[in-house]
Structures are given as C-alpha cells and as structure tokens.
Structure 1
Amino acid sequence: MVSLKLSDLGARYGASLTMEGVSTPVLSGGELTAVIGPNAAGKSTLFKRIAGLLKGPGLVELQGVSQPPKEAIRYMPQDTHANAVLTVYESVLLAAKQGAGWRVRDGELARIDRILQALQIGELAFRNLGALSGGQRQLVAIAQALVRKPEVLLMDEPTSALDLYRQVEVLGFMQEFARRNGTLVLIALHDLNHALRFCQNTMVISGGRLAAAGPSEEVITQDLLRQIYRIDARIEQCSRGERHIIIDRAAA
C-alpha cells in the first residue's frame, strides 16, 4: 500500500522561503485527506512542493509505489489550461498516452469510457473543450488526472466550479476511487463540511506552516474554526452520524 510522509518540508519561490517546517504523520493509500486553510495559506505551494515543481528543504518520503515518484504523483492544479480545439475524448486520451508511446490499446479506450461515464460527462466526449462551461472543464481535468492511474493524486480545489449536487457526486466518486484503487488522494477544499463528510484525514495549512493534522473529526473543531478561520461555530452530529458545522450568526 502506498504511503506518504512529509518531514520538515519547505518550499521556495526564488530566494524566498514561503513554506517551512511541514511534518505529517504517515498518510496511507485508499483514503482521502483534506488540505484546508484560509486563502493564500500555502495549500497550492504544498502541492507543488510534493509534486516536485518547487524546490525547498525537507523530505517527501514515498513508500509502496510501483512507479518512479515523478510518475506515481499526479498534480491537478486549480487553474487548468487546455487546448480548446481538442475534443474531451482527445484531451483525455492525450493525457493517458503522455510518455507512453502512441499505440492505443482497446483496454485504454475502455478505461477512458469508464472514467467519462463515472464522472457523468460521457455525452460531452466529442465536444470541443472551448465549448464547455468552467464546471465541465473541471470534470474533464479530473478525468485527465485519473486516466494516468496515479498512486498519489494532489487535487487543488477540484470542485470549485461545480454546483453543490455535482460537488457531492464527485467527492463521493473520489472516495470510492481511492478505496478501490488504493490511491492516496490529497484534496484542497474550502467547504469544511465536505472535509468532514468525505475525508478520513485533514491537514490544516496556515501562514505557510502546518497548524494541525490527523483524523478529520479530531482536527476540525470549534477551536480550530475560531483560531484559523475566525468564526464562531458549533459542530453537530446528525442522526446518520455525519458531523456538520453550524455557524453562529448571532455571534458573527
């Protein structure tokens, strides 16, 4: 089973150290880990450092993978840039074949079909990317990431352009994808209720440092909401066992 551990990790933009001292417990495959924190806290910087796109001190310790780290780790940025003249199917096929030669096998085509259907964008297969909405392009970007069979997947706000219904559908799909394939998925999220519902673990980034890490229900607390997000809220458990954040409007 794949596992990831960060030890005293930092990141540099040029000569400036913008993130430092990030150390985590071992994160295991088959689970979703939420990465939360205020805007500009360093979530994207963390993902880029793990993916090797930024340099800096510390160690990214990856165990149990069957590929070299550059192949095992996939980063899906928040802003995806795609060739607007390609169709959805062509763009996902191109992602699948990167660095693997151009011979297309039936199994690869079947995999693309399954992913498009699972994300409910099969009907968009032969539409040009330039004709899609922002939410539809975001779903295509998810398909492009999944088709490469990542062992560690870093998703930077992958549901930000989706409506609430599709957010729930996609996060539920990613939860099942991780469990079925043993993939370790780190997802930057702003909706903390989604983190509580779908993610077994949560990391909190604030000011370029790790403020907390561990099981989501232990990390996302009233104290955390007050200290990191500066809001007064309570966390209630519903009859199905799920926990929800209720903001105290009177206190706000």
Structure 2
Amino acid sequence: MTDEAAHRTFDDLIAEGASVPTEGWDFSWFEGRASEARPSWGYAKAMAGRLAGAGAALDIQTGGGEVLDFALANAPGRPRLAVATEGWPPNLAKATALLRPRGVAVVASPEDAPLPFADGAFDLVVSRHPVEARWEEIARVLEPGGVYFAQHVGPGSVYELVEYFLGAQPDERRDARHPDRERRAAEAAGLEIVELRAERLRVEFHDIAAVVHFLRKVIWMVPGFTVEAYLPRLRALHERIESEGAFVAHSTRHLFHARKGGAGRASRP
C-alpha cells in the first residue's frame, strides 16, 4: 500500500477506484498500488521486431492502441500498411487519436464479428490479450506463409481474486483459455504452431482502490461487477490487506507464434 493510501479511509479508496477512467490498456495508474510480473519474452518489444519485417500488419483488439504505439515507436522499420481493430467505442476513440499520427488505420470491428478485410490481406497479425482468438478469421486474413504473433491470457488468470468474489469456479471456465485447447483450435483452422510458451506470474494488490479499478477495467473477471453489489466483500478485503499486506494472485500468459501454410510473398520464419 502507498503511504498516501495508508492514510485514506475505506470510503476514500473505494471512491477513487470507482472514478478512475477505464479506457484503453494503459495500466500506469496502478504503479505503487498493484504490480504484476512480466513474461520473460517481452511481448511489446518482440512485436516491434516482427513489425519491422512485415509488409502489411493487423493488430486485432488493439484496446487504446498503447501496445501497438509502443511497438511502432521501437521498431527499426515499419510495415507498408498497418491497421488495427477495436470494438469498444471509448477505446476506439482513444486508439484512433493515438495511432492516426503514426499512419495506422483504426477500424471499428466488434469482437464477435468477421474481420472486415479480404482473404490473405496481411502477412502479419498481432494481438495482445484478445478476448477470444477467432482462429478461422485470423487464418483467413493471413496470406500463405503469414504469421500470427500474439500474447494471450491463459487459464485461471488472477483466479484467486475472481474466486474471492464469486466462489469456486467450474473447471470449464477456469480452463477455457488453456494453451492446449487454443493450439488445437489454431491447428484446426489451418495454422502451424511454431512456438507456444506459457508462464505463471505473481500479481499483488496493495490497496482496495486497485482492486476496484482492476475489476472495472478487466470486466470479464467478475461479470457485472459494481461496488454496490460487492461492498461487504470489498470491505472485508480492505481489512485483510491492511492487516496482512498485499493480496496475492497469479496471472497466466502464453505466447503464440503460428504460421499459415503455403509460401506467400512475405513469408516469415
């Protein structure tokens, strides 16, 4: 807990966590209030390297565009064509404002709709933490030899926090994002898995405001979360953090490097 937070009341912290804007995937607000270990592969920098060698690149579910913006800023070269999709209007506006100066076209596309692009339009598709990987669509928009390079949220991610609020979850929900399941689905769509790596990482929440903001921002963790609905559990967790220290959970992440069969004009290893 930060020194400032240590002198604030439960009501103050709840009000702050409930008022912080949730648009985009900028998590800088959490500094000093929550922490998450990062995967060893360094996805954003690895994405930058991939973008440097691409001809036409697509970033699916870009959020506020922060990861793509970082990758383009740090890439030694850039693709001839860069496009991003996003389905949530507040994120769409933020991503457009951030990425348009870099020459990226940001396209409104709901997560559950077909991608609005022609077959074989891209030699590189990237995504960081897609809600769901729609493998048939990813394979369709990749040219032969094209690459899908993404970081996914894994199974049971931050479930210590989820189950604190919801109780024990069924195995079907806990394992829905298992990398073995996703491997099989990707292969069924015609993609060859070049590399698949998984890691389990420590997460710490140092005050209750961080918990509230996290659950408002990552809305699929506790569906329908509101402060009012969970106020007794929030108060109990606040008291636990004050007496015992940070609430510890674990995130899971996996890195996908997949390739569409065939030889395209910009086939990558």
TM class by smaller structure: under 0.3
TM-score by length of 1: 0.25
Rg comparison, structure with higher value:
2
